[in-house]
Amino acid sequence: MTPDQTTPLVEMRDISIAFGGVRAVDHVSIDLYPGEVVGLLGHNGAGKSTLIKILSGAYRADSGEILIEGKKVTINSPRDARHHNIETIYQTLALADNLDAPSNLFLGREIVTPLGLVNDAKMEAETRRIMARLNPNFRKIKEPVSALSGGQRQSVAIARAVYFNARILIMDEPTAALGVHETKMVADLIQELKRQGLGIFLISHDTREMMELCDRVSVMKNGRLIGTERVEDVTEDDILSMIIMGKKPERAA
């Protein structure tokens, strides 16, 4: 399935991983093109998050290969993934609650002074700059993020992903904990990042939201890939039956 002529930004080929005896991801292949949003759908435990964690470096695949812009790469750690400009917004947000927003935003990539000490003032200024763009209401820069609301925490996690010029963005349930207003904010952001030519993997339970935000959706069930469809080719019911029954929609000729 190659809808464009260009090289995919990411290609995950024939990926498998097992935990104990359980095949969490079973020979799955997916790809992602620049300026495209690909949705990953499936039940809890279908293997979406596991698959995506292989790309973000949190897990190592037992077999299969990952290609970034046509070149084979090895991703053994989150650091490797970041090196390939892959940024991830985790469902759990992965924030250190006891640290403030700038420390979280720059965690693992601190700005340092010539002496090698962390430059808190610079990081704080940069955080204010990006937050002014993402979430102008964000004011609690110096507080531990445990003191922030769900939406504010989410903006910290998003800011962390987009600040470092990501080319490939993975969003695991980015709107799960958010109110209406903040969900809209995330949707707008996704559109903007698309225009900038980023490729986005989006994981969600909300089929309707996925139909709106994604260009293609890949459906997984029990670790297997059921199929990948362009959203304009299928109905919401088609997708639901793929998720629930694991059946590919029948094509009208």
Q: State the minimum distance, in angstroms, from the CB of residue 186 to another protein.
A: 17
One residue of 23, 27, 43, 122 binding another protein per CB under 8 A: 122
Q: Which stretch binds another protein (CB under 8 A): 27-35, 121-129, 200-208, 228-236?
A: 121-129
One residue of 147, 240, 244, 245 binding another protein per CB under 8 A: 147
56 binds another protein (CB under 8 A): yes
Query: Pairing relation of β-strands 199-203 and 216-221?
Result: unpaired
228 binds another protein (CB under 8 A): no
Alpha-carbon gap, residue 12 to 226, rounded angstroms: 15
CB-based contact 214:51 (threshold 8 Å): no
Alpha-carbon gap, residue 233 to 149, rounded angstroms: 38
Nearer to another protein, 104 or 204 (CB): 104
167 binds another protein (CB under 8 A): no
**Which residues, 6+ apart, have CB-to-CB distance to 78 below 8 Å?**
56, 57, 58, 88, 108
Residue 189's nearest CA partner among 148, 106, 133 is 133
One residue of 13, 64, 69, 118 binding another protein per CB under 8 A: 118
x/- string (CB under 8 A) for another protein, residues 60-79? -----------------xxx
Q: State the minimum distance, in angstroms, from the CB of residue 241 to another protein.
A: 34
Rounded to the nearest 10°, the torsion over CA 104, 109, 114, 115 is 70
Q: Which stretch binds another protein (CB under 8 A): 30-38, 82-90, 177-185, 212-220?
A: 82-90
CA distances from residue 96 to 38, 119, 159 in whole angstroms, order as listed? 29, 19, 15
CA 198, 201, 205, 207 dihedral sign is: positive
- Chain residues binding another protein by CB under 8 A are 56-58, 77-79, 82, 88, 90, 92-99, 103-104, 107-110, 112, 116-118, 120-122, 124-125, 137-140, 143-144, 146-149, 152
